[in-house]
Chains A and B, each alone.
Chain A
Amino acid sequence: MHSSDAVREGLIALLPRLRRLARALAGQVADADDLVQVVLERALARSAQWRPDAALDKWVFAIARNAWRDELRARGRAQHLFAPEEAGVTVADGSDARHARQMELAQALAMLPPDHREVVALVLVEGLSYDEAAALLEVPVGTVTSRLARARATLQAHLGNDA
């Protein structure tokens, strides 16, 4: 099979997870799907660079992370800020309390610096291991764990989670 066909088929299967990652990175539904579109275009254009022995998901997620960083730079702001009513966590038919809680979460995520937000998206939302996230971000594992710890502290302080 030609590598571009393999990438194309892999991307179809990967699309739901890619959209989830993009939502965790970009926040709003429209921004997230714009990001997914850029990622799909880049992945297809670069399909010759993908080696079948490498995991396609990590390869695509790295493209997604870099595309998101490019987008932040293009907007000339290091932090993705939006009004609370725009904070885009899609809420299924839930109660008002659940809706409010998801809004809080979206706002807390929007407060994180990009370094922190991307480890939250990769490890806590997408379920990558520390090693996988470190390889994808091209940083030492210790950097992943320290960013993750600080991100957690920020989120929990903002959300006031009690257990």
Chain B
Amino acid sequence: MNPIDDDTLQAYVDGELDATARARVDAALVQDDVLARRVRQARALRAQLRAAFDPVLDEPVPARLSALLQPRAMPAVPLTVVEGGRGANTVRHRASRRWLLPGAALAASVALLAVGLWWHAGNELVRMRNGEPYAAGVLGRALDQSLASEPDAHATVAIGLTFRAANGHICRSFTVRTPPARAGLACHAAAGWALPVLVPVAPPEGGELRQAASGLPPAVQAVIDARLRGEVFDAQQERAARAAGWR
């Protein structure tokens, strides 16, 4: 049998060989301990690189970067929680009206940072870790425990949508009712509920903020749209996800 050259071995590790060539390397590895060791080393290096850099995928995106991608005009997407016969279903309605100027989007993103810092200093609903915001206090507890299918009109935090993001992590939109009202998205990560977006909400005319009647700010909706793949959780899936620790 011809010896396996270095290029072939590397291509084997990187998944670049066709089935025939792969089978030839597989056969050689059984007999050649030195070759097998080199394959293990090359695979270990690949795995080490992935382990070092893949966590970046789950880090919240800094506001200054997402602000650059705010559209000039964005469809308004109100979020409505509809009470169903057996538990509530969460439904999204799309309105055709276009609004939000770029300045408003930028202002919202800048406000996000300010809000995060203010909260950090004040109510401890947000805690910074490695310079990124995570849910804390009553917000963290609500994200852990509250179900949109069991809304509590008096709770500080109202949960909106729950869904599994494209990267496999569970995300939940939420509204904080107590002034200053805020809305955002939290995504479950190893270090807790990361907050990729958090923006101020203008309370409706003379009223308490109600999740069912109020739309999510476009900045929050844009982050949801960028992450959402497939369907949002129904009441049963939401309950199961809570039981599984949101993993």
Contact = CB atoms under 8 A, between A and B. Distances in A.
A98 to B, nearest CB: 9
Interface of A: 5, 8-9, 11-13, 15-17, 19-20, 23-24, 29, 33, 36-37, 40-41, 44, 89-90, 92-93, 101-102, 105-106, 120, 123-125, 129-130, 145, 148-149, 152, 155-156, 159, 161-163
Contacts of B10: 145, 148-149, 152
Interface stretch (B34-42, B77-85, B109-117, B149-157): B34-42
A41 B65 CA distance: 10
Contact of B55 (A13, A90, A106): A90
A155 B166 CA distance: 32
Given A15-B66, A92-B190, A123-B14, A20 B57 contact: yes
Given A15-B66, A37-B64, A148-B10, A105 B48 contact: yes
B50 A92 contact: no
A149 B6 contact: yes
B2 interface: no
Interface string B63-98: 011101101000000000000000000000000000
Highest count of chain A CB atoms <10 Å: which of B14, B68, B166: B68
Interface of A is mostly: helix
A131 to B, nearest CB: 9
A16 B68 contact: no
A79 B131 CA distance: 27
Interface in B45-61: 45-46, 48-50, 52-59, 61
Given A33-B62, A37-B65, A20 B45 contact: no
A40 B65 contact: yes
A159 B48 contact: yes
B41 A161 contact: yes
B228 to A, nearest CB: 11
B44 A12 contact: no
B243 to A, nearest CB: 24
B16 A16 contact: no
A129 B41 CA distance: 20
B186 interface: no
Contacts of A124: 14, 45-46, 49-50
Contacts of A162: 41
A139 to B, nearest CB: 16
Contacts of B62: 33
B41 A89 contact: no
Contact of B69 (A8, A93, A159): A8
B30 interface: no
Contacts of A17: 57
Contacts of B166: 13
Nearest to A98: B51
B69 A163 contact: no
B31 interface: no
B11 interface: yes
Task: Determine which residue in A101, A106, A125 has the highest number of CB atoms from chain B within 10 A of its CB, and name it.
Answer: A125
A67 B190 CA distance: 32
A8 B45 contact: no
Contact of B53 (A20, A33, A93): A20
Contact of A93 (B6, B45, B61, B190): B190
B44 A163 contact: yes
A45 B76 CA distance: 26
30 contacts: A12-B225, A12-B226, A15-B61, A15-B69, A16-B61, A16-B167, A19-B65, A20-B57, A33-B65, A36-B65, A37-B68, A40-B65, A90-B59, A92-B55, A92-B191, A102-B52, A105-B52, A106-B52, A123-B14, A124-B50, A129-B16, A130-B14, A148-B10, A149-B10, A152-B10, A156-B41, A159-B48, A161-B41, A163-B40, A163-B41
